[in-house]
């Protein structure tokens, strides 16, 4: 292979490929670590809300007028701890974006890394507005939803930086209606809508009925996707495993949701949040984020392995439809 006017021996080319794969693996590990840290940030935010600690530190970006560590007592340990984790995740995200910019040749992946930085900055600003304006419900809900979006971006980067990830691999034709792609996208969108409704319920006292209706739709979508995956791709472990994980997480989430709502009703007259209620509601938020991430992984794998209907099969389908219509139409 000519390189700068010289021929690189096969051994050298293989060495370069091994070095590149090693670099990509370290990058993928770091991206996975950032995604894990983001999940911890989501859990920390859920602890703030579950403990009614959103205004325990009444100013921003300082804490009680200073950048020094405040006394970590009461709700301060949740609110200020949340800010500390958010700052760490922000730094980790900037480092990830710089690493992607230097080492990843795919422009769209580098841009996604830049989008992650912009998202975490916007998330920090929303968090500050939430405190400065005394927890306005629309901003609090937007803050919760943007956290889920940022988590999805980091999970996607962890997947895209894997050394074996490729979009341009052969794809199996999918002639079903709806296609598995459409079904996976619709299910992921429904899960995100469900998280929005859950955030509105937690922050704004929004009704529980829409949350229950969408939960039923999400359950239908998740198990429909699972059946389709097990039927069409039973040997594709990279697709079967996240689909099974998604179904398992959903079952756990439904149990946590029922437990959380029941415990809140039982403890509605308590003067302060009870530890068991805090634990279950926080777990409900955390598992909800994992359900969304698992559905996103399934969707991305479906797009990688499943193609659209070919023109030939589309033509055959249209021909059969026209023939059926002709047999049903009486001769003039």
Cα separation, 267 vs 29, in Å, equals: 42
For the record, the structure tokens of 137 come out as: 């419900």
User: pLDDT at position 102, please?
Assistant: 93
Q: How confident is the model at residue 242 (pLDDT cuts 50, 70, 90)?
A: very high
User: How many other C-beta atoms are found inside a 10 Å radius of the C-beta of residue 193?
Assistant: 16
The torsion defined by the Cα of 136, 141, 147 and 152, in degrees rounded to 10, comes to -160
Q: Return the percentage of the chain with pLDDT > 90, whole number.
A: 68
Q: Return the percentage of the chain with pLDDT > 70, whole number.
A: 83
Q: How confident is the model at residue 319 (pLDDT cuts 50, 70, 90)?
A: low
Cα separation, 313 vs 174, in Å, equals: 10
Q: Residue 21 pLDDT more than 70? A: no
Q: How many residues does the chain have?
A: 332
Mean pLDDT across 135-140: 92
Q: Residue 145 pLDDT more than 80? A: yes
User: pLDDT at position 75, please?
Assistant: 92
User: pLDDT at position 323, please?
Assistant: 55
CA distances for 85 relative to 40, 74, 124, 261, 275, angstroms: 8, 18, 11, 28, 22
Beta bridge partners of 7: 2
14-28, 41-55, 101-115, 160-174: least confidently modelled range: 14-28
| Omega cis (within 30) before 160 | no
For the record, the structure tokens of 270 come out as: 């308590």
Mean pLDDT score of the chain: 87
Q: How confident is the model at residue 14 (pLDDT cuts 50, 70, 90)?
A: very low
Cα separation, 253 vs 194, in Å, equals: 12
Q: Residue 212 pLDDT more than 90? A: yes
For the record, the structure tokens of 88 come out as: 């760490």
Mean pLDDT across 147-155: 98
Q: How confident is the model at residue 315 (pLDDT cuts 50, 70, 90)?
A: very low
Q: pTM here?
A: 0.85
Q: How confident is the model at residue 331 (pLDDT cuts 50, 70, 90)?
A: low
- Placement of tokens 């029941």 in the chain: 262
Three-point CA angle 240, 292, 268, nearest 5°: 130
Q: Please name which of 146, 154, 114, 151 lies closest in space to residue 127, comparing C-alpha atoms.
A: 146
Q: Please name which of 262, 255, 188, 260 lies closest in space to residue 224, comparing C-alpha atoms.
A: 188
Residue with more model confidence, 15 or 178:
178
Q: Residue 133 pLDDT more than 90? A: yes
Cα separation, 324 vs 326, in Å, equals: 5
CA distances for 321 relative to 309, 328, 330, angstroms: 16, 11, 16
User: pLDDT at position 27, please?
Assistant: 95
Q: Residue 6 pLDDT more than 90? A: no
Q: How confident is the model at residue 20 (pLDDT cuts 50, 70, 90)?
A: low
Q: Residue 177 pLDDT more than 60? A: yes
Mean pLDDT across 248-256: 98
User: pLDDT at position 332, please?
Assistant: 41
Summarize pLDDT for 78-111 with one digit per residue, the tens.
999 999 999 999 999 999 999 999 999 899 999 9
User: pLDDT at position 16, please?
Assistant: 46
User: pLDDT at position 312, please?
Assistant: 45
């Amino acid at each position: 292979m000519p390189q700068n006017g010289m021929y690189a021996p096969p051994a050298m080319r293989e060495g370069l490929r091994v070095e590149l794969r090693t670099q990509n693996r370290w990058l993928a590990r770091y991206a996975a670590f950032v995604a894990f840290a983001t999940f911890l940030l989501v859990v920390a935010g859920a602890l703030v809300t579950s403990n009614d600690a959103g205004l325990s530190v009444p100013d921003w970006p300082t804490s009680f007028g200073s950048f020094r560590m405040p006394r970590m007592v009461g709700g301060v340990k949740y609110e200020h701890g949340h800010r500390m984790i958010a700052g760490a995740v922000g730094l980790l995200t900037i480092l990830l974006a710089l690493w992607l910019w230097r080492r990843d040749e795919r422009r769209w992946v580098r841009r996604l890394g830049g989008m992650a930085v912009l998202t975490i900055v916007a998330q920090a600003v929303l968090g500050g507005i939430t405190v400065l304006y005394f927890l306005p419900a629309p901003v609090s809900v937007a803050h919760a939803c943007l956290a889920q979006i940022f988590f999805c971006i980091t999970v996607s980067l962890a997947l895209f930086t894997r050394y074996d990830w490729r979009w341009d691999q052969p794809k199996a034709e999918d002639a079903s209606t709806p296609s598995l792609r459409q079904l996976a996208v619709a299910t992921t969108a429904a899960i995100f809508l469900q998280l929005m409704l859950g955030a509105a319920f937690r922050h704004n006292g929004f009704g529980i009925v829409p949350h229950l209706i969408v939960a039923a739709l999400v359950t239908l979508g998740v198990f429909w996707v699972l059946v389709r995956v097990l039927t069409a791709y039973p040997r594709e472990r990279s697709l079967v495993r996240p689909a099974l994980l998604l179904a398992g997480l959903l079952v756990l989430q439904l149990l946590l949701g029922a437990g959380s709502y029941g415990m809140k009703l039982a403890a509605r007259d308590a003067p302060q949040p009870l530890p068991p209620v805090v634990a279950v509601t926080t777990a409900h938020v955390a598992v909800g984020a994992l359900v969304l991430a698992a559905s996103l992984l399934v969707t991305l794998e479906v797009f990688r392995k499943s193609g659209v209907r070919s023109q030939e099969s589309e033509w055959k389908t249209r021909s059969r439809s026209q023939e059926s219509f002709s047999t049903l139409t009486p001769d003039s």
